[in-house]
Structure 1
Amino acid sequence: MTLLEFCEDDEYSPEYGTIVLRDVYRDKTLPALDNELLGENATGTVSGTVATAGDGWLYATADHLYQAIRCEAHDGPPELRLGNWEDIVESPFRSRSGIAGLGWLMGGTLSGELSLGAKGFYRVRVCRRPADAGEEGDVWLFQFWPEEVPEPPRWLKRTRPAIHPEEPGWRQVFGYDVIEVSWYFTLVGMLRPDGWLDEPLPGREQPSESVCGQLGVDPPRTRRDGIPLLVAAGLLVEDGTGGYQAGTPRRATEVLDLPDELANRIDAAAVRAVYVWLAADLVTIAAWSNPAHVRDLAGLLAVPEETVEPLLAYAVSDKLIHRENGAVTALPRRPPPTRPARRRVETVRREEPATVAGSPPKAGFVSGDGAVVVWRAGEPVVLGRVESDYRYRAFETLTGVYVASSGGQGQLIDWTGAAGPAPVDLGMLPVRSVDGRCLAGVETHVGRRTWDQVHVFDVATEEVWSLPKSDELTRTVLAVHDGSVYFTTRSGYMTFTASRWTPGQEPVEFASTVHQLDPLSGAQVREEAGAATVFTASGEQRALPEPHRWRFVPGGALMHSGGHEPPVVQVLDLAAGTTAEYPLPDGCDASGTPSTSPIWETPDTLVFSQPNRGSTRRIVRWHLERNEFEHFDLPEIAGYRPFLVEPILVRQAGPGQPDAPGRRPLRGDDPERLIDQVQR
């Protein structure tokens, strides 16, 4: 048979230990299956001992952070080669689109796609083996070929256990904080600061005095006090060098006299841990067979006959299947338990601030489907379109609009409408110089060999400068100010250093950590003697209470913070040391979370989206100095959850006039004139 197409990912990182492959939809013209049990998450099971598949989805179980995966499309069944594969399973797979792609459990797909050939039924063979020596994780092969009449899933080879050890239940007895102490010794590479073991044990969950008394140990007050409890339970054993290693504990209900409700939960969880993965295999066989027959299960599952009856007993007790007269049918996922509605506390507030009709957003917006819209001659115009599904933030620059993405390089749409990827990946949280000329960010690569790299991109000259790659994910860009990039580097557990980098020179490390920097004035929030201190542009120092709450207002003389229910803005005057609170119109998003977070159009004007009022298209403009509000409704093209383009804050003065204060003169053309020329 012929190999038609393949795609690979050598550093796939599964979410929650689950590899996910889904249909990539272009349309939904294929009718739904009559059997709704084949839908994704239709039953109450997980991804199985190796892999399970259904209507447009495939889940596989992964034990490590990184996996190497190859997906192949064939025109017929490829030769079965057992080779050094440890586990092999075949399953039906139904594709609505004829295109499949690796993705994440919580949604979305990666960039690689596999064309299967057409919509319809396929069979997929999943093979798994350990990675080569020195590499983390497993190696996977997914092979697809057409199958007109779906045959039930079948496990062709098993090397790893189909059932697992029971869960002893000590987590439910001791609570998270004591169990975390055991991880300190048993999880290799677990970072904790010096003195962590001698800190007081957090009071979130404490073992009861009854439990401590039965184990003959005093109730713990510090984390170190938890070690005797863990030893008494068998979770830790001394390793002979003064340290501890993981033990093999008995079930907690066999050691302790516990309340009936807790004991019943622990016993049920113990059995579930043994059979939950194999039960997912059973359910997928039942869903595709509709029904499956008990006599066939051992052969399809590739398990001993004596495993089948206790497996069926567990699956029936957990309401995963229905068994009758030797036939097994899958049951749909149970709905979540209903919770009583929370009583809403009505907040008494002053009268909602009035708004008047105002002008459109100064630099435009990015629509729900990726259209970049700007205003020309008073009318909205689509400048261009961004194809990425993971749009995050947008900036006006000298040469066009840059749209940042949470996956890969951002897109730059110039003023003529031409679109293309930026020459370098600036990550999902880039920063921009206030004159719109330079963008800076951190490119990240998460994989077996993780690294990050700081880049600066000059949109006017298209020059790129880069620092060397790091060995881990350690750096965060704060701002671009006066021709330099400010960034922090993590050097240990919650330990950071701050640096200033001027392209073409070596970075200069500061004596104290910089947490924030206002790109307009250069004002900073620094860590001084263990406290956050604001250094203004003129060099004055101000203590800053609650440093994580406040952000600079452009210009560095004020700081602001948002609140909700009801929405408000608090403004801190650094010189006077006073705080004022300003109510906002209902529904305004005052949070600092992109992409609907407020943006500064000018150093005195803050613009909010209003998604919490049922309108994702209305914007509200607040003039800080005179505390007045305007509103503007974006056109229909805005779609669902549009976000605003952040305008250039500083325009360079015209010929013969001095530059705006607090900034370095630019090379080349005047930015205002350059923008006007290109837009025309």
Structure 2
Amino acid sequence: MLQFWPVSDIEPPIWLQRARPAAGAGNSGWLSELGYAVMELSGMVQATAVAHGGAVTADQVDQWGRDHQRPDGWLDTPVWPLPRTPLPTGHADLDRRNAGQHAEAVRRLEAQQRRLDEIAAELGVPPVLLKRDGLPLLAAAGILVREGTDRYRTGEPARVDTVLSLPPERERMVRAQDARSRYGRLAEDLEAVLRWSERIPFEVTAADLAARLLVDEDDLRAGLEYAEESGLLHVTARDEGRLGLALGRRPAPASVSPDRLPSSTAQPPGKQPSSSPDRPTRFLGKGTIRMGAMVRFTSGSRPARRISRPAIPFGPPPRAGMLLSDGTITHGSDGVPMKNVRLEAAAWTRAVQTARGILVAGPNRVAELIDAHGGIDVIDDVRQPDLLLMGDGRRVVVSENDQNRLRVVDLDGGPTVTMPWPADRPIAPVGAHGHTVYFTGGHGDTMSWTPGGEPRVAAHPFQQIDPLTGTGLTRTSQGITVIRPDHTSITVPVDLTARLTLGGDRLWTARANPPAVTVFPIRPHPKPQVHWLPEGSYSEPIWEDGDHIILCLQPWHSQPEPSAGIRLSLRTGAIERLPTQGRPMLFIEPLPHP
């Protein structure tokens, strides 16, 4: 129960202590003028100087960056590298869109470079093309301080409009940003005092108000000026050190009285305005009606003609089965629920077929393994859905990102094997083939690890690897490079979102609005094969075998007939609907099968 009662003589707030000064440090405006790509270098100089205890050289900054996930040679890369030229998607509309976005990005970066060249010329330093070139410019701006000929530390720069020649509007913006940074919090504190005061105007001496707010009088004067400019309050009186303060902007001068309005605005006696002044009546167009403050669209005079499409036939259920929303699991062969199996309602997000049964997993939840007879085992070492199945189908790879750790969990109950790896180096799994796991190791290298051994740099910088054949791919500016197990490779000039099909013999992409799956042969000049899908919202495709994918309908997508999703043949383009006797939660991912 809540009770409220009036309280009289409320005292406005008094600050007893401040965790930080009421007035901020200000905003010099250099970040907006130079851009993050240049200003980031000053932050790295500061971090390097802290680590070394004084001014540092460019080589020391370079080493600090490499120690903190920057690639070799990062300091000698362009400040604003131009985006890669878009590669073919297999769809003319997407190619046009990508080309337009690329041209716009190039124009924006060229304009940024021109502005940076102008600043460098005004400061009397060479043009800044590479990141390393930014050090002399930052020193000339006062953001860094040069010691000797090659050492730098952070400085205290003057506001940018006092150093560079800026357009008047830009100068006003810089001053406003600086004032907000310095006095924005103090202005809000002043407003709070007035809101809690019973007496408006609030009369107080400047000294008493400064003591109440725990600020000095110089900051108080600046804070009052900013608060008045921003409309939080206004000063009603200044008399021998006493102030009168009221909320809001200063009232405007009295307006012209209604009886002095021009005769053209008068209404005839008894004639009322056609609408209230705050809701002017406008012609809303055919097919609309006004209801309160909303506009609702009604059907037009001529209903849209429905496009007739041939019915999509039903096919067999998903090969590995489904997890339904009521917790039951269906057999893949006939779609009949398994007897005596009903999982607890939970946020399950993966269901994977293994050699030991169906493994279901979800975020921050202990995984469960359901065998062919309906028995359920708890797999305590699997507590999240980001996992890979090893080639034997009996072990899974779990990535524990919070601890930068890879673990291989034996579903037969054997020991869990943890990969030896430094705790401060992040990892990201790429895939698994046979008994080997592939992952990226924090410095851009692709690593491989076979349980029982040590991690090592992989023979190729794989970004995907096929679990059946070991064929891998890597993405380059020229397209997708496919690397076969015999170490031969071929580059396919297609969009970099392309991935390997199961079996590694083709590439594929997916698009939405309208939905389609596009398949590319692995050759230098591929001809795309586009498979248009029925309108709908689909989840990530699941591979039934090397030629078929199944796509589950998202929960919010309603079907006129009971269907769990669709099956697509990548060879023929044939589409089948997937039957279901309940609402599917997940398709079970089959064991990789050619």
Shorter-chain TM-score tier: 0.5 to 0.7
The equivalent position to 1:626 in structure 2, one of 569, 572, 589, is 572
The 1:208–1:465 alpha-carbon spacing in structure 2 relative to 1, beyond 3 Å, is: closer
Contact kept in structure 2, 1:499 and 1:510, CA below 8 Å: yes
Contact kept in structure 1, 2:396 and 2:409, CA below 8 Å: yes
Shift of 1:455: 0.7
The equivalent position to 1:553 in structure 2, one of 498, 501, 507, is 501
Shift of 1:510: 3.5
Deviation digits for residues 592-633 of structure 1 (CA, Å, limit 9, x no counterpart): xxxx32111232211224559955986222122221112348
Identity %: 29
The equivalent position to 2:400 in structure 1, one of 429, 443, 454, is 443
Alignment-mate amino acid for residue 330 of structure 2 = W
Contact kept in structure 2, 1:589 and 1:608, CA below 8 Å: no
Alignment-mate amino acid for residue 619 of structure 1 = G
Contact kept in structure 2, 1:587 and 1:612, CA below 8 Å: no
Alignment-mate amino acid for residue 390 of structure 2 = S
Q: Which residue of 1 aligns with 2:226?
A: 314
Deviation digits for residues 129-185 of structure 1 (CA, Å, limit 9, x no counterpart): xxxxxxxxxxxxxxxxxxxxx999875433532322111111222233332333342
Deviation digits for residues 420-464 of structure 1 (CA, Å, limit 9, x no counterpart): 86322565531113664221022122xxxxx42211112233542
The equivalent position to 1:160 in structure 2, one of 14, 17, 20, is 20
Alignment-mate amino acid for residue 498 of structure 1 = M
Q: Residues of 2 paired with 1:353 and 1:285: CA distance?
A: 71
Q: Secondary structure at the match of 1:569?
A: strand
Q: Residues of 1 paired with 2:487 and 2:128: CA distance?
A: 49
Q: Which residue of 1 aligns with 2:329?
A: 374
Q: How does 1:75-224 map to 2 (within 5 A)?
A: 156-188=16-48, 189-191=64-66, 192-202=70-80, 203=109, 205-206=112-113, 207=115, 211-224=119-132
Moved more, 190-199 or 471-480: 190-199
Contact kept in structure 1, 2:323 and 2:330, CA below 8 Å: no
The 1:300–1:359 alpha-carbon spacing in structure 2 relative to 1, beyond 3 Å, is: farther
Q: Which residue of 1 aligns with 2:512?
A: 564
Q: Residues of 2 paired with 1:154 and 1:645: CA distance?
A: 62
Q: Which is strand-richer, 1 or 2?
A: 1
Q: How does 1:378-389 map to 2 (within 5 A)?
A: 378=335, 383-385=342-344, 387=346
Q: Which residue of 2 aligns with 1:33?
A: none
Moved more, 196-205 or 372-381: 372-381
The 1:568–1:327 alpha-carbon spacing in structure 2 relative to 1, beyond 3 Å, is: same
The 1:466–1:222 alpha-carbon spacing in structure 2 relative to 1, beyond 3 Å, is: closer
Q: Which residue of 2 aligns with 1:228?
A: 136
Deviation digits for residues 319-375 of structure 1 (CA, Å, limit 9, x no counterpart): 667999856599xxxxxxxxxxxxxxxxxxx998973334444445567xx865522
Q: How does 1:379-528 map to 2 (within 5 A)?
A: 383-385=342-344, 387=346, 392-406=349-363, 408=364, 410-412=366-368, 414=370, 422-425=379-382, 429-433=386-390, 436-445=393-402, 451-461=403-413, 463-482=415-434, 484-490=435-441, 492=443, 494=444, 496-501=445-450, 503-507=451-455, 509-525=457-473
Q: Residues of 2 paired with 1:519 and 1:326: CA distance?
A: 73
Q: Secondary structure at the match of 1:385?
A: coil
Contact kept in structure 1, 2:183 and 2:223, CA below 8 Å: yes
Q: Which residue of 1 aligns with 2:313?
A: 356
Q: Residues of 1 paired with 2:491 and 2:412: CA distance?
A: 39
Deviation digits for residues 639-675 of structure 1 (CA, Å, limit 9, x no counterpart): xxx554322234xxxxxxxxxx9xxxxxxxxxxxxxx
Q: Which residue of 1 aligns with 2:269?
A: none
Shift of 1:574: 3.1
> When the two structures are superposed, what TM-score results if normalisation uses the length of structure 2?
0.64
Alignment-mate amino acid for residue 261 of structure 1 = E
Q: Residues of 2 paired with 1:292 and 1:423: CA distance?
A: 65
> When the two structures are superposed, what TM-score results if normalisation uses the length of structure 1?
0.57
Q: Which residue of 2 aligns with 1:646?
A: 589
Alignment-mate amino acid for residue 645 of structure 1 = I
The 1:387–1:165 alpha-carbon spacing in structure 2 relative to 1, beyond 3 Å, is: same
Q: Residues of 2 paired with 1:427 and 1:288: CA distance?
A: 50
Shift of 1:379: 5.3
The 1:539–1:164 alpha-carbon spacing in structure 2 relative to 1, beyond 3 Å, is: closer
Contact kept in structure 1, 2:315 and 2:579, CA below 8 Å: no
Q: Structure 1: where are the runs of 5+ without partners?
A: 1-118, 122-149, 331-349, 446-450, 591-595, 651-660, 662-680
Q: Report the structure number with the largest CA radius of gyration.
A: 2
Q: Which residue of 2 aligns with 1:599?
A: 542
Alignment-mate amino acid for residue 167 of structure 1 = N
Q: Secondary structure at the match of 1:542?
A: strand
Q: Residues of 1 paired with 2:200 and 2:415: CA distance?
A: 64
Shift of 1:248: 0.9
Alignment-mate amino acid for residue 246 of structure 1 = T
Deviation digits for residues 383-424 of structure 1 (CA, Å, limit 9, x no counterpart): 313645xx6543233455444445x45522535878786322
Q: Residues of 2 paired with 1:465 and 1:491: CA distance?
A: 21
The 1:539–1:244 alpha-carbon spacing in structure 2 relative to 1, beyond 3 Å, is: closer
Alignment-mate amino acid for residue 231 of structure 1 = A
1:243 matched to 2:151: yes
Contact kept in structure 2, 1:353 and 1:584, CA below 8 Å: no
The 1:248–1:305 alpha-carbon spacing in structure 2 relative to 1, beyond 3 Å, is: closer
Deviation digits for residues 71-99 of structure 1 (CA, Å, limit 9, x no counterpart): xxxxxxxxxxxxxxxxxxxxxxxxxxxxx
- Pairwise CA RMSD of aligned residues? 4.6
Q: Secondary structure at the match of 2:401?
A: strand
Q: Residues of 2 paired with 1:304 and 1:437: CA distance?
A: 71
Q: Residues of 2 paired with 1:633 and 1:576: CA distance?
A: 40
The 1:520–1:430 alpha-carbon spacing in structure 2 relative to 1, beyond 3 Å, is: same
Shift of 1:307: 4.4
Moved more, 471-480 or 597-606: 471-480
Q: Residues of 2 paired with 1:619 and 1:387: CA distance?
A: 22
Contact kept in structure 1, 2:233 and 2:245, CA below 8 Å: no
Q: Secondary structure at the match of 2:329?
A: strand
The 1:589–1:212 alpha-carbon spacing in structure 2 relative to 1, beyond 3 Å, is: same
The equivalent position to 2:161 in structure 1, one of 239, 242, 253, is 253
Deviation digits for residues 10-53 of structure 1 (CA, Å, limit 9, x no counterpart): xxxxxxxxxxxxxxxxxxxxxxxxxxxxxxxxxxxxxxxxxxxx
Contact kept in structure 2, 1:384 and 1:413, CA below 8 Å: no
Q: Which is helix-richer, 1 or 2?
A: 2
Q: Which residue of 2 aligns with 1:581?
A: 529
Q: Structure 2: where are the runs of 5+ without partners?
A: 4-9, 49-63, 81-108, 237-243, 250-306
Moved more, 214-223 or 463-472: 214-223
Q: Residues of 1 paired with 2:541 and 2:399: CA distance?
A: 23
Deviation digits for residues 498-533 of structure 1 (CA, Å, limit 9, x no counterpart): 2230x34445654433332211222233699x9975
